[in-house]
Each structure stands twice: as C-alpha cells, then as structure tokens.
Amino acid sequence: MRAGRLRHLVTIQQPTEVQDTTGQAVKSWGTYVQAWASVEPLSGREFLDAQQINAETKVRIRIRSVSGITEKMRVSWDSRVYNINAILDIQERDREIHLMCSEGANDG
C-alpha cells in the first residue's frame, strides 16, 4: 500500500455503555484507534422511509491492517460518521484492510 494514498486521518470508534445521572445505561462512543486512510466514495442513493426522504452514501475506507476491528464499530472522519458494514482483508496478508461503510441512519 502506498503511503501517499493515506491522506485522511480517521477515528475508529467502539461502543461503550455508561450510566447517565439517573443511573440508566446510555450508549457512548470511545476511540479505538486513529489511522491514516483513503476514503473513497462508491455510491449514493435517496429513499423514502416512514414518509421521510433519506439519503445513504457508501464508501470504502482503506487503512493498514489493525487487529480487533469489528462491524459493531464505526468510523468518524471530517464531521461524518460511517457504519462499518464489512471488513475485507486484502489478499489475506494482514497488511491492508478495506472497511466497507455507509453513511446515513447511524447507530448512535
């Protein structure tokens, strides 16, 4: 992987549960790792859901291999939040992974 492509600093976040002032469990997001990445838009669409027009954008985020990333995590970059839909280990060599993500109705 050429380092020149990795020009965006992204934050991979993991969900944690914390208690609010009333003692209720609330989902919070904490930083798992920051990594230099290439963010590549793939497609976009608009759809009607519950009488509302929603938009969804799909992107591929390329980073050097980081162990422990799961689909329950999310990626934050440039004030945007992306859900991780799939994690692809390119050539199964643990050098480069592609995070197939979507921006739209985010979990959290």
Q: pLDDT band at 108, cuts 50/70/90?
A: very low
DSSP string, the chain: --GGG--EEEEEEEEEEEE-TTS-EEEEEEEEEEEEEEEEEEEEEEEEETTEEEEEEEEEEEEE--TT--TT-EEEETTEEEEEEEEEEGGGSSSEEEEEEEESS---
pLDDT tens string 2-59: 656 788 999 999 999 888 888 888 889 999 999 999 998 887 666 556 666 666 788 9
The answer on pLDDT for 105 being more than 70 is no
pLDDT number for residue 57: 82
Whole-model pTM: value is: 0.77
